[in-house]
Chains A and B, each alone.
Chain A
Amino acid sequence: MADNATTPAKAGGATTLAETGGRPSVGLFVTCLVDLFRPSVGFAAIKLIEAAGCRVSVPASQTCCGQPAYNSGDRKDTRAIAENVIATFEPYDYVVAPSGSCGGMLKTHYADLFEGDEAWSARAAAFSAKTFELVSFLVDVRGMTHVDASFAGSVTYHDACSGLRELGVKNQPRRLLKSVEGLKLIELKDADVCCGFGGTFCVKYPDISNAIVGRKAEAIVASGADTLLAGDLGCLMNMAGKLQREGKPVHTRHVAEVLAGMADEPAIGEVER
């Protein structure tokens, strides 16, 4: 379980490589959706990061990456939030987020917020350089090639847009999924097409969002897979919500849950039977 290798809750949770016995320190960026709606994803992420030979801390003063404000044009609040995030995570060797869209915000957009401010630009650059989406961190940074997990059933994988296009997350989750014992991976038709979530888009333009997710749900059902996976909880909730509204039997989970062998909890939007 995730609770046997955590760092003591020192102020800022700072650790050095020496203190952690040569293992890099990772600050887990939980993301607001995981924090609020599906904490099990956070625990699955911790288990995986520890399996990759790192020590994980969860700084208490994190809230949101600032993307809702950023994409709504509120640069002032976004910057304030970003300053808090950067400062909070400065003590760690790496920052890892179980989300391509938060990861993309932290890694590729923070620099934009501090243009013209030399000191903060440097801090932001250092922060972004050490920040990764979860699966990309495991495979690209830690060199993970397989996981010790099993999953009886077929899954199909949706490429969430930010992870795919901002961070290049595509082959990594498929590689690890293929190593899960018993798991059958079925490729989703148009896997790289948007699911229609888009943050506030899905509530600002619900009719259009519904058309897009309806099409995605059709493809998911057509794949024949029992379970839908992706690396972004927003997208997952959007797709799960649509599948369930349509009465489809597909289960939806975050890819971390399956990779960490923690897929025994109820799937998204479901309860224990």
Chain B
Amino acid sequence: MSGRDGTIGARAAILGKIRRQLGVTAEDPKRNAAVDARLTRAPKGVVPARGQLDAAGRIALFTEKMEKASASVARVTNVEAIPTAVAEYLRAHNLPAAVRMGEDALLNALPWQKTSIEVSHGASEGSDAVGLSHAVAAVAESGTLVLTSGADNPTTLNFLPATHIVAVEAAAIAGDFEAVWAQLRKRYGKGVLPRTVNMVSGPSRSADIEQKLQLGAHGPKDLHVIIVG
């Protein structure tokens, strides 16, 4: 039980204070039932209509929002086209033909040898110019990519390289966040998340200097999304 490090006293004091102030008890069955119910059922609330579109609509909306946030978006019809699409992007941006990726099955099964791209694997230690990830989902409502941690797509690839390229299947572009949670629950189980879920809605930016918007604060300066399918 946490608190073993010595904050058991503080824990009891704080919880006790909360209960006294609210005039409630820990054992009250109604309260416990209400809390358990909410945690179990996880009711949705207000879901904006704008993301409730058909597949083509969601892709279009997602693309529009990503581009508005200064990300670039390309579309390929099948996964085999990804390496060429990546090579094109690197050439167009005068970047070295080298990318770092994780152990993602989809990305690793691609015909990289058809290009001259040097592929390295694993978490980034800060010296990679380009990171390549495979997003598990995206959200059209806000133009957001959803990436999960793990050996497949190490989180450091999302932040350390100055250029981040993300492949996402068209079918994985959901209309709203709620659909993404349902998907993650299916994959990881109820009440369980991977170590990190990154929701990325554009390249890194800051307006801290006299409100002037600038890209590439600490994270990637460039975010390139390749929609597949």
A–B direct contact (CB < 8 Å): no
